[in-house]
Structures are given as C-alpha cells and as structure tokens.
Structure 1
C-alpha cells in the first residue's frame, strides 16, 4: 500500500491550500470541493504533485 502526499490546488485562485495522503496504485486524480481562504468560499480543488 504505497501512499504519497499530494497537494490540492484551487482551480480559481491557483493557491495550494491542502495536503492530503493518497494511495498511488490504480487511483484517479482527486477533485474535491474545498474552502479557499483567499476567495472565502468553496471552490473546486484538483490534485497537484509536489514541485
């Protein structure tokens, strides 16, 4: 069970607001509605790898 940390990046502001663990084997990219502090509302956050 290989797990890795990935960032969730806001699609509207581009900020990386959340870091979550994800199982890497056979999973799709995460897309979640999360709170963006810059915009002060819930927006779509997509998975972004470490840079």
Structure 2
C-alpha cells in the first residue's frame, strides 16, 4: 500500500498499490486535490 501526497500542499489524499518487482520507480499521477481544489501532481511516499 502506497500513500499518494500532493506536491503542492503536501496533503495525503490517496492510497494506491503497485507491483514492486515490476515497477521499481515511485508512482507519480495527476489527481484531484481537495485542499487545493484542482488537479495536481501526486507522488508516492513511504
């Protein structure tokens, strides 16, 4: 289970999963942030 954090306001908004054997790099997705009220880049954190 990976936490997705907004790169603008640093709020944790989403949880996601990935196959660690196949995908070595951390996830980055454009998602809607409720705090910013717009689509922003969300990065995976530990």
TM-score by length of 2: 0.90
Distance in 2 (alpha carbons) for counterparts of 1:8 and 1:38:
14
Q: 2:13 aligned with 1:17, yes or no? A: yes
Q: 2:2 aligned with 1:6, yes or no? A: yes
Q: For structure 1, which runs of at least 5 residues remain unmatched after alignment?
A: none
Q: In terms of Rg, which structure is larger?
A: 1
Task: Choose between structure 1 and 2: higher strand proportion.
Answer: 1
Where has structure 1 moved over 4 Å in runs of 4 or more? none
User: What is the total number of aligned residue pairs between the two structures?
Assistant: 45
Let me know the Cα RMSD of the aligned residues.
0.8
The within-5 A match list for 1:1-51 is: 5-27=1-23, 28-49=25-46
